[in-house]
Amino acid sequence: MYLLLYIQFFVFLSSVEHPAAGYKKIFETVEELNEPISAKITGIIPSWLSGSLLRMGPGLFEVGDEPFYHMFDGQALMHKFDLKNSQVTYYRKFIRTDAYVRAMTENRVVITEFGTAAYPDPCKNIFSRFFTYFRGIEVTDNCLVNIYPIGEDFYAVTETTYITKIDPDSLETLKKVDLSKYLSVNGVTAHPHADADGTIYNIGNCFGKNMSLAYNIIKIPPAQTGDFSHNKYFVFVEQPVKINLLKFLSAWRIRGTTYMDCFESNDTMGTLFHLATKDPAVYLSTHKFRTSAFNLFHHINTYEEEGFIIVDLCTWKGHDFVYNYLYLANLRGEWEEVKKAAMRAPQPEVRRYVLPLDIHREEQGKNLVALSYTTATAVLESDGTIWLEPEVLFSGPRQAFEFPQINYSQYGGKKYSYAYGLGLNHFIPDRIVKLSVQTKETWVWQEEDCYPSEPLFVPTPGATEEDGGVLLSIVVKPGAERPGFLLVLDATNLMELARAEVNTIIPVTLHGMYKRRA
């Protein structure tokens, strides 16, 4: 009875409104801190939790009189909640990228960002400004998306080839690295996959034959050799949102053009699943999987079982590019306007797709999926392609399950039971959700006028259960005496264990990591 009431209670909370529009505060500029500030702790933080929660996100939303327009344009701010000896401190510092330093020096937007164009210096004469348009592409190094380790070092990243080495203790900027000097890529994702031995895998793109775009899987080996991965395959999902190469190459020669202007949606392409083996590295051109159009930004997990590859994704229905709805003008709107804009956007769903590996001896029109625990289907068509239909694991009107996390160290690439995500209510982050991918049961943490961030799972040392651990999330509660706090939840039931509150607003954060104390 108690469990039933608990679940119903949180289902009710998941439909809350936000008429006060406190979410606007997470899209406002803040200053960096000169030194760490102490947090007020309520509840009990587990004694074994000793380390740092590191997060990246935008922290500067305008330079001088020039605003940044898109959520992915604000200059990179690094956050750290440090947990040590039952004490918690909070610190933040802007990454000294070229984009940030030059903007601060010239008091204007100098390098074009994702959705904000940089214009020539108005102080230059007309001839200098004219030739500025023909200098070629100057790619941003604004590393606001994520942070991850490579070997013994830590890098803040975005989705260009520039990554920035940082000191995770002092948050000092150490070195800018251009991956294109070492790899044949023009851009890489900010969401790499790490094997147990420290090998980093990522996917990027490069120019192929006849000025086409090609996809490259890249591998960064660990400091010590060895391979403990259970993954035998790579799955790459090709969406119906593409970069127009001609626009991309000419964009910085045309006044006011941004990265966003180079994306185009294809309403007839649908979505393709590409499959490659890991060792040896071979693209399986014989396996052609396709399905209806959707947008995809985050994978939850992928694993192989009984001759099938199970792929769990956070999708947005249709070919319409979801990033079109993430301009700051939309996210800062009054609540009723935010809801209207979200009603025009694609509908979010958590989906499970199943890719059969053995496709050669089956009859056309037959469902090839033989797993008993999923309703996902894969049907061989006359042209040799396999049409995929998903099983929907989570769906709610304008309620997204995004920024997914799992017990990654133990269940990445393996069959698993639970995913944790940030709940988006009409694009506004207002809850944390645990999802059983087996039963579709959900648990929710939510508090009035609170805006959490991606929940990171940290396993309890020696835990034997998959969900034995805690979730860490940075939460903003505008109007509170201490409006920013680190939230610690029991990952089994999402009950609050503790919070560490600080007297400062914390802007929206995107991704990050937990660094255990050595």
String of DSSP letters for 340-396:
HHHHHSPPEEEEEEEEES--SSPPTT-B----TT---EEEE-TTS-EEEEPEEEE-B
Q: What is the mean pLDDT of residues 208-216?
A: 75
Separation of alpha carbons 146 and 158, rounded Å: 7
Strand order in the sheet with 294-305: 294-305, 308-317, 348-356, 391-394
pLDDT of residue 49: 96
User: Which 3 state secondary structure label does DSSP give 119?
Assistant: coil
Single-letter residue type at 436: S
Instruction: Tell me if 511 is assigned to a ligand binding site.
Output: yes
Separation of alpha carbons 391 and 13, rounded Å: 26
pLDDT of residue 424: 97
Separation of alpha carbons 236 and 288, rounded Å: 12
Separation of alpha carbons 428 and 431, rounded Å: 9
Say whether pLDDT at 432 is over 50: yes
From residue 231, give the alpha-carbon distance in Å to each of 4, 108, 188, 222, 380. 38, 46, 21, 17, 25
pLDDT of residue 267: 86
Helices and strands in the chain, H and E counts:
7, 36
As a whole-number percent, the residues of the chain with pLDDT over 90 amount to: 76
Please indicate whether residue 512 or residue 256 has the higher confidence score (pLDDT).
Answer: 512
Instruction: Tell me if 426 is assigned to a ligand binding site.
Output: no
- CA pseudo-torsion sign 489, 490, 493, 499: negative
209: Cβ contacts below 8 Å, ≥ 6 apart: none
From residue 46, give the alpha-carbon distance in Å to each of 263, 274, 418, 458. 46, 43, 22, 11
pLDDT of residue 394: 97
- Strands 162-166 and 62-63 come out as unpaired
Nearest to 252 by CA among 137, 142, 140: 137
Is the Cβ–Cβ distance between 351 and 296 less than 8 Å?
Answer: no
Query: What are the backbone angles phi and psi of residue 27, rounded to the nearest 5°?
Result: -115, 30
Nearest to 55 by CA among 500, 491, 504, 473: 473
pLDDT of residue 122: 54
Please indicate whether residue 124 or residue 410 has the higher confidence score (pLDDT).
Answer: 410
pLDDT tens, 127-152? 444 444 444 568 999 999 999 999 89
Q: What is the mean pLDDT of residues 252-280?
A: 85
470 token code pair: 């805690």
Is the Cβ–Cβ distance between 242 and 266 less than 8 Å?
Answer: yes
225: Cβ contacts below 8 Å, ≥ 6 apart: 197
Helix or strand run (H / E) with residue 108 = none
Separation of alpha carbons 445 and 10, rounded Å: 7
Is the Cβ–Cβ distance between 164 and 95 less than 8 Å?
Answer: yes
Is the Cβ–Cβ distance between 488 and 498 less than 8 Å?
Answer: yes
CA angle 255, 257, 260 (to 5 degrees): 170
Say whether pLDDT at 30 is over 70: yes
Give Rg (Cα) of the chain.
23
Q: What is the mean pLDDT of residues 11-29?
A: 83
DSSP single-letter state for residue 299: E
pLDDT of residue 250: 66
From residue 55, give the alpha-carbon distance in Å to each of 87, 452, 509. 19, 13, 6
Confidence of residue 211 (pLDDT cuts 50, 70, 90): low
Range with lowest mean pLDDT among 44-48, 249-253, 276-280, 361-365 = 249-253
Q: What is the mean pLDDT of residues 25-34?
A: 98
309 token code pair: 């590859």
Beta bridge partners of 52: 82, 515
Instruction: Tell me if 298 is assigned to a ligand binding site.
Output: yes
Is the Cβ–Cβ distance between 490 and 6 less than 8 Å?
Answer: no
pLDDT of residue 138: 82
pLDDT tens, 158-203? 999 999 999 999 999 999 999 999 988 888 999 999 988 889 999 9
Beta bridge partners of 251: none
pTM of structure? 0.93
From residue 235, give the alpha-carbon distance in Å to each of 268, 275, 287. 22, 5, 11
Say whether pLDDT at 59 is over 90: yes
Q: What is the mean pLDDT of residues 116-128?
A: 62
Q: Where are the beta strands (DSSP E) in 366-480?
A: 377-380, 386-389, 391-394, 399-405, 418-425, 428-436, 442-445, 456-459, 469-476
pLDDT of residue 136: 54
Separation of alpha carbons 488 and 328, rounded Å: 29
Separation of alpha carbons 214 and 204, rounded Å: 8
As a whole-number percent, the residues of the chain with pLDDT over 70 amount to: 89
- CA pseudo-torsion sign 337, 343, 346, 347: positive
Say whether pLDDT at 299 is over 80: yes
User: Which 3 state secondary structure label does DSSP give 452?
Assistant: coil
411 token code pair: 């269940």
Torsion angle in degrees (nearest 10) through CA of 12, 15, 17, 18: 110
pLDDT of residue 207: 74
Q: What is the mean pLDDT of residues 106-111?
A: 95
pLDDT of residue 477: 98
pLDDT of residue 225: 57
**Mean pLDDT, rounded, of the chain:** 90
